[in-house]
Amino acid sequence: LIKGGVVDEKGQVKYFLVIQTDAEKGKEEVILRLKNLISSLLSSSLSRKEKILGIGIGSPGPIQLAEGIILTPPNLPGWKDVPLKDILEKEFGLPVWLNNDANCAMLGEHWLGAAAGAENAVMLTLGTGVGGGIIIENKLYQGEDGTAGELGHMVIVKDGRKCGCGNKGCLEAYASAVALEREAVKIGLKFLNARDIFILAKKGDKKAKKVIEEMIEFLATGIANLVNIFNPKVVVLGGGLIKSSDLFLAQLKEKVSQKAFKIPAKTARIVPAILGDRAGVLGAARLVFSD
Ligand SMILES: [Zn+2]
């Protein structure tokens, strides 16, 4: 899905739209849809006589940040080195900010969500993959080339499961919703979505329990690493898997506190994201306002 909104400087979402991505139809079609979405948002704003400062975009990575080029995102087939910032600036005559979607979610949650008021925070989005974002001293940490925060690709198992990035043993291969669903099928459950696997485990199904416990163990390992490295005030967990946080968060917290050093583990609150769909839109808007 592509989500878009008109956001004011206080973070009020004035107008919100969601459309299908239809990524399988290819690059041209997706860009066309994106342009149409932006046009609708702009005309809604125009009709209210609002002044638009710029366009913020959160997109699947990897991204060449300075130039606003989307390189070769695994989830957007056929995309290679797309200068999206240029394309949209030419089309709309407004400045465009581009960043990866997980960073935008982190920015949104830090602005107005679960990490509001935390000077230091990290976020993991547990969905199709595992995205990450890092806030250090109230600023998004982007690294030397703007590629920092790929927390889903920290290796937690030597020679472990194959990851979509080509490496082995990444957190993403153990803690995404897709990984959970795949492992459940591997040990003989019929295909279920992540939420149903959690519910089955709660009802006492041994196989479901086993895959869930494994997932929690690996996720806790990843979070304990983050807690030891960053000493964050808040660890925000977002993405589809978090709809089931009522069924696993307590156990996850327990495991993290066993694995991490005592002091940072005591500081870090592990909390579900609260902005849902809107985190990315708010974060993308934040790119515009905070520049
Ligand atoms: Zn990876």
pLDDT digits (tens, 9 = 90+) for 9-39: 999 999 999 999 888 898 999 999 999 999 9
At 44-80, the pLDDT tens digits run: 998 889 999 999 999 988 899 999 999 988 778 889 9
Q: How confident is the model at residue 231 (pLDDT cuts 50, 70, 90)?
A: very high
Calculate how far, in angstroms, residue 171's C-alpha sits from the geometric centre of ligand 1: 7
At 97-117, the pLDDT tens digits run: 999 999 999 999 999 999 999
At 178-190, the pLDDT tens digits run: 999 999 999 999 9
Calculate how far, in angstroms, residue 284's C-alpha sits from the geometric centre of ligand 1: 24
- Mean pLDDT over all residues of the chain? 95
Calculate how far, in angstroms, residue 178's C-alpha sits from the geometric centre of ligand 1: 14
CA-angle at 102, arms to 19 and 278, nearest 5°: 45
Q: Which residues, in sequence order, are CB contacts of 85 under 8 Å at separation 6+? A: 57, 67, 68, 69, 96, 97, 98
Between 61 and 198, residue with greater pLDDT:
198
Hey, is 285 helix, strand or coil?
A: helix
Calculate how far, in angstroms, residue 150's C-alpha sits from the geometric centre of ligand 1: 9
Calculate how far, in angstroms, residue 170's C-alpha sits from the geometric centre of ligand 1: 5
Q: Look at residue 291 and tell me whether its pLDDT is greater than 80.
A: no
Calculate how far, in angstroms, residue 164's C-alpha sits from the geometric centre of ligand 1: 6
Q: How confident is the model at residue 165 (pLDDT cuts 50, 70, 90)?
A: confident
Calculate how far, in angstroms, residue 196's C-alpha sits from the geometric centre of ligand 1: 26
Residue found by looking up tokens 């079609």 in the block: 29
Calculate how far, in angstroms, residue 6's C-alpha sits from the geometric centre of ligand 1: 34
Calculate how far, in angstroms, residue 154's C-alpha sits from the geometric centre of ligand 1: 7
Calculate how far, in angstroms, residue 168's C-alpha sits from the geometric centre of ligand 1: 7
Calculate how far, in angstroms, residue 64's C-alpha sits from the geometric centre of ligand 1: 18
DSSP assignment letter at 24: G
Q: How far is CA 21 from CA 45, 59, 77, 148, 188, in A?
A: 23, 12, 12, 26, 32
Task: Render 219-258 in DSSP notation, one character per residue.
Answer: HHHHHHHHHHHH--SEEEEESGGGGGGGGTHHHHHHHHHH
Calculate how far, in angstroms, residue 89's C-alpha sits from the geometric centre of ligand 1: 32
Among candidate residues 66, 69, 76, 73, the one with its CA nearest the CA of residue 25: 76
pLDDT > 70 fraction of the chain, expressed in percent and rounded: 100
Among candidate residues 162, 155, 181, the one with its CA nearest the CA of residue 241: 181
Calculate how far, in angstroms, residue 15's C-alpha sits from the geometric centre of ligand 1: 35
Q: How confident is the model at residue 164 (pLDDT cuts 50, 70, 90)?
A: confident
Amino acid (one-letter) located at 9:
E
Mean pLDDT of 280-290: 96
DSSP assignment letter at 94: S
Mean pLDDT of 134-147: 94
Calculate how far, in angstroms, residue 260's C-alpha sits from the geometric centre of ligand 1: 22
The pLDDT, as a whole number, for residue 105 is 97
Calculate how far, in angstroms, residue 126's C-alpha sits from the geometric centre of ligand 1: 13
Mean pLDDT of 274-279: 92
Calculate how far, in angstroms, residue 172's C-alpha sits from the geometric centre of ligand 1: 6
Calculate how far, in angstroms, residue 169's C-alpha sits from the geometric centre of ligand 1: 7
Q: Look at residue 142 and tell me whether its pLDDT is greater than 80.
A: yes
Mean pLDDT of 276-280: 91
Calculate how far, in angstroms, residue 188's C-alpha sits from the geometric centre of ligand 1: 25
Calculate how far, in angstroms, residue 162's C-alpha sits from the geometric centre of ligand 1: 8
Calculate how far, in angstroms, residue 246's C-alpha sits from the geometric centre of ligand 1: 27
